[in-house]
Chain A
Amino acid sequence: EVQLVQSGAEVKKPGESLKISCKGSGYSFTSYWIGWVRQMPGKGLEWMGIIYPGDSDTRYSPSFQGQVTISADKSISTAYLQWSSLKASDTAMYYCVRFVLSQWLFDYWGQGTLVTVSS
């Protein structure tokens, strides 16, 4: 069974750094792209970027380029999303997703990690 299990909810202050994780299991982690999707409170889905754990090829949405860093450690089947300096506007639910490039779709979703940034 394919599973994407994300790290727990975080409460941070503006300016702090953060790295959240997503562990894949039940499939070959290095053979599929992993993506991150943001959902701000009461809003829709926004694609942030994707990474291919096999060779760490990474592609960002222009809206998130330079704002976050996506990485992966294939030895432990885990992908990461990190911020160096959080803003209140980063408050959102973040989903990790398995991305099927050949069909341009997200076929499995993690449970989500709620990030709250507040002073």
Chain B
Amino acid sequence: SSELTQDPAVSVALGQTVRITCQGDSLRSYYASWYQQKPGQAPVLVIYGKNNRPSGIPDRFSGSSSGNTASLTITGAQAEDEADYYCNSRDSSGNRVVFGGGTKLTVL
């Protein structure tokens, strides 16, 4: 079982705002990073650190954190945002990489 917990599936209406969450004790001490994976493609880093976007990632993607929960927010979801989203961070010991189980986002 993963030390980071994500909801398996979330849906959002086109153009609306959706928040995808990631819970884990280690998130009280460390930031999460977020990855988007579309079918048949490698994952892509979309958010890291406090709230940083790599070059080329649209500004509708943002990140936040509170307590043991990290969140990825998509403001004005587009059809092309339909994908699996994974969080990652350290485990509770701080020495190992862990991934969340992933959230499948459906844009209606």
Contact = CB atoms under 8 A, between A and B. Distances in A.
Interface of A: 35, 37, 44-47, 50, 61-62, 95, 99, 103-107, 109-112
Interface residues of B, number: 24
5 contacts: A103-B33, A104-B33, A104-B89, A107-B48, A109-B44
Chain B contact surface mostly: strand
Main secondary structure on chain A at its contact with chain B? strand
A95 B43 CA distance: 9
B99 A45 contact: yes
Interface string B83-106: 000101110000011111110000
B54 interface: yes
B107 interface: no
A105 B48 contact: yes
Contacts of A112: 42
Nearest to B84: A44
Contacts of A104: 30-31, 33, 88-90, 97
Contacts of B97: 35, 47, 50, 61, 99, 104
Contact of B33 (A106, A110, A111): A106
A9 to B, nearest CB: 13
B15 interface: no
